[in-house]
Every structure is written in structure tokens, then in C-alpha cells.
Amino acid sequence: MQEDRAQLIVLYGRRRIGKTFLINEYFEGRFDFKITGAYKEKKDIQLESFAEELSDHLGELVPVPKDWNTAFYSLRRYLNTLPFDEKRILFFDELPWLDSPRSGFLKAFEHFWNDYGSAQRNLICVVCGSATSWMVNNIAQNKGGLFNRQTCSIDLRPFTLQETEHYLQTRNIEWSRYDIAECYMIMGGIPYYLSLLEPERSLSDNIDNLFFRKRSELWNEFQQLYRTLFSNSEQYMQIVEALSKRRIGLTRSEIIRATGLPDNGSFTEKLKDLIASDFVRVSSQFGRKNEAFYQLKDYYTLFYFHFIQNRNGRDEHFWTHSIGSSTRYNWVGLAFERICKDHIQQIKQKIGISAVLTEEASWLWKGNEETSGAQIDLVIDRRDHVVNLCEIKYSEIEYVIDKEYDQTLRTKRDIFRQVTETKKTLQFILITTYGLKQNKYSGIASGQVTLDDLFAPVYN
């Protein structure tokens, strides 16, 4: 707002993350022109919406443009009638939906910005969209007419645990951090989902009400989420379903075998789309940087495949009834591991290595005739010649390392050193809910991180 040159602001992020809310709140609804793309509508319908919006601002009826070039020329003429000593603000919401097949929208927008918009010192144009891969490929990393034209790029991310706690407090929801963490495992830090929680209900009652009651608020969220983001959404769903079944993730070839999808460029693009949209995390395997693991990152999607799929309406109190079940116990371990990977900075801060350059990886050894298999939940490879082997344990009480688990850790460390042939110092870090109970075996952990530590703010 303080710059004296034209601004093209690109805002993207996962659906339900609050992009539109952020822009509306900041500008307090003061737009000189605003249009929102309509999902899967043809060009003619989108152009009708354009004409209606322009008519509202001009105070007179504007004929429906025949194409997008004509539409942007009309917008240009309208902007020229506004005072030049004031900021003129344009907001194109759900931009990917405006670019319907064979509509010519993107080319027309490129021409509008290059020929007119970029030369207007007082013009601010915000473009926004939930289809992150489209926004990145066509706007943020455009190789054509919009190459290097953006002046600001905002990748809106979910709330952290701390931000989630603060948000819930503003809604008079005072839960324990244990409950907030479980809520995070289901919804992630997605503001829209969190906004549906009711203060007078317990966490379990809220989850039953939102996910398992017949025709509940989020009963069909999964289908809507993927279908509005991706064309050929069924194939994207196949990929995330395959990933939901493997804790550490799958390699590219394993995903192809699990889904039966062809190994081609289209498959590569789908993986890139899922990563760009923050649904999938890709990480290298320690010691084998060319072998990447793809892991399902989105909390809601993981929750869907474990509990919602084929279950909606069958038990309206399913979540309450499932307390203590083995299925829920297994899921919570998977979800807590993802929370830890999303809060790496908090972990590094707690163990005192915030300033150390690190790389995070996974590690899986399937074993052979000489060496048994082993897996490390999270490996932090440090530039100071130390490797932290992080064991992640979610527990309702202080975690106890007994004689058997102590031996398991020592064996795992020996296998890791033998297989990876690393010469670095190996240190175990235990990440638990309430910390370790001190006994004669707890000393194997060089450090520990608790749930409270994951709620901490990060200091630069």
C-alpha cells in the first residue's frame, strides 16, 4: 500500500486456509473491482459475473463482454475514471476458476497487466486461488507474459499449534494442550475447520457433531476438497489413499504399484501438484538422497481414510465410542509424527540447535540376511557432525524407557551406523507428550522434547 509502483500480489494456499478472509479483512471490503471465479462454469457465465461487478461499480448497466480481451478493456476504461491520487485496488478471487478451458482468460490477463496495469503507479492487483499448482505454474512461476511480474508472493500456511491455541482462546475454547493436539491431528491448523468448533461441546462431542452425524458439516468435505482443486481428481485421491496406508511414506515406484497409474509425465505432475498444495511431503532418505519418500501430510485426509470413509452416519457418536480402540491408537501415532515434522523449528529450538544448518530425512532399512530391519521416525542431519535420531512417542503419561526398549534403541543405532556408514556422532532425541520418566534407562536419550515445547513460539 505504501509503494509508488504497480503491485501484482499473488496469494495462494490450501482450500479453507483463509485467503479470501485475509484480503477482505485487510482492505475492509474497499475494492475498486472484485470478481470471484465460479467453479466449473463456462466462459459465458464468468463474463456475465464480470459485467455485473463492473455495473455495480459504475452505477450503470454494462453489456456482457464477448470475450476476456473486451472485458479487460472495459475494466481499463473504468479504472481511468477513478482519481489518480488514490490507490486503486483489484481483487481476482479463485483466479484458476476464471481460466476455464479455451476461455483465453490468462492471455487476456497477461496483456492487461503488461500493457496497462504494470504502468499504473497507484494500482494494486491481488490474485488469489486455492488450486496452488495452477497459481504457481501460471502466475508465480509463469514463463510467458507474466514472467517476473509479481511484486509480492504470499504462500498462506496453516496455523501452528501455538496459533491454533490462540485462535481457540479467542473463541472461548479453553482445552488442554493434549486435546488441542488431538484436534490438530484431525483438522490441522486450518482456520475454517477450527471455526466450526463449538465452545460448549467437548472435543469428542465436536468431532462427532462435525464428522459423524448424518449430513454433518464436514461429511462430504473430502470429495469437495479434491474435486475443486484438481482435474482428474480421482487419480489424486488414489495417490493419497495409497500414501495413507504407509507410515513412513512410499517411493515413486511404490505409489505406481499401489495405484496402478501409468509411470509418465502426467503422474509426475500430479505428485508436484499434491506437494505444492501442501497435501504431500517429500523427503530424502538419509544416506540415499536420490531415493525420495512421499508422505501424506494433510491431517484431514489422513483422518478421512482412517475413520470417515464408508462410515458416515453409521454411528453418530463414533469418535466418543472409539476412545481406547487400537485403530485410534495407531492413528494417533501417525498423526503425532506429522505434527513433529511440521514443527521442526520448535524441536531444534528445544534441543539448542536453532542456529545449526540441518537437513531432515526419513530412514528405513528393510533388512537382509545379515542385518534385521529398522526405521527411524525422523533424522536430523546436522552440519556440526551430529545426527539426531528422533523417536516419536505419543502417550497419555510420562513415557518409560524399559530394558527391552533400551536394547531396541541400541540395536537400531548400531544398524543405522552399519548401514549408512556415517562417521558422525549419533544422538537419540525422544519426542513425547509429557516427557520421559527418569530411570536407569532414560539416559540413552541425549535430549527430549515435549508437547509443550511444540507449542512454543520460534525465536529467530
The answer for residues whose C-beta is within 8 angstroms of residue 423's C-beta and 6 or more apart is none
- Where a domain ends, among 139, 155, 171? 155
**Inter-residue contact 189 to 292 (CB < 8 Å):** no
353 and 425 share one domain: yes
Q: Which of 130, 155, 180 is the last residue of a domain?
A: 155
Do 302 and 356 fall within a single domain?
no
| Beta strands 288-296; 280-285: pairing state | antiparallel
Residues 272 and 148 in one domain: no
| CA proximity to 76, closest of 47, 113, 102 | 113
List the chain pLDDT tens, one digit each, 460 residues.
999 999 999 998 888 999 999 999 999 989 999 999 999 899 999 999 999 999 998 888 999 999 999 999 999 999 999 998 899 999 999 999 999 889 999 999 999 999 999 999 999 999 999 888 888 888 877 767 776 788 888 999 999 999 999 999 999 999 999 999 999 999 999 999 999 999 999 999 999 999 998 888 898 899 999 998 888 899 999 999 999 988 888 999 999 999 999 999 999 999 999 998 889 999 888 887 777 899 999 999 999 999 998 775 578 999 999 998 988 999 999 999 999 999 999 999 999 999 999 999 989 998 888 889 999 989 999 999 999 999 999 999 999 999 999 999 999 999 999 999 999 999 999 999 999 999 999 999 999 999 999 999 987 6
Cell numbers describing residue 236 = 489424486
Q: Provide the pLDDT for residue 321.
A: 92
Spell 351-365 as b/e; 16+ CB within 10 A means b: bebeeeebebbbbbb
CA distance 119 to 102: 28
Query: 347 and 270 in one domain?
Result: no
Q: Let me know whether 15 and 118 are in one domain.
A: yes
Question: Could you list the residue range(s) of the whole structural domain that residue 274 is in?
Answer: 221-311
163: in domain: no
C-alpha cell at position 34: 472484485
Asked whether residue 260 is domain-assigned, the answer is yes
Instruction: Tell which of 262, 296, 311 closes a domain.
Output: 311
Distance CA 430, CA 393 (A): 7
Sort 55 into a burial class: Cβ within 10 Å, 0-12 / 13-18 / 19+.
middle
Residue 272, domain CATH: 1.10.10.10
Residue 396 Rama label (left phi>0; alpha psi -120 to 50; beta)? alpha
In-domain check, residue 450: yes
CATH number of 13's domain: 3.40.50.300
Strand partners of residue 35: 92
Number of domains composing the chain: 3
Tell me, yes or no, whether 300 and 255 share the same domain.
Answer: yes
Return the SS3 of 400: coil
Whole-number pLDDT of residue 459: 79
Q: How many CB atoms lie within 10 A of CB 330?
A: 12
Residues 145 and 86 in one domain: yes
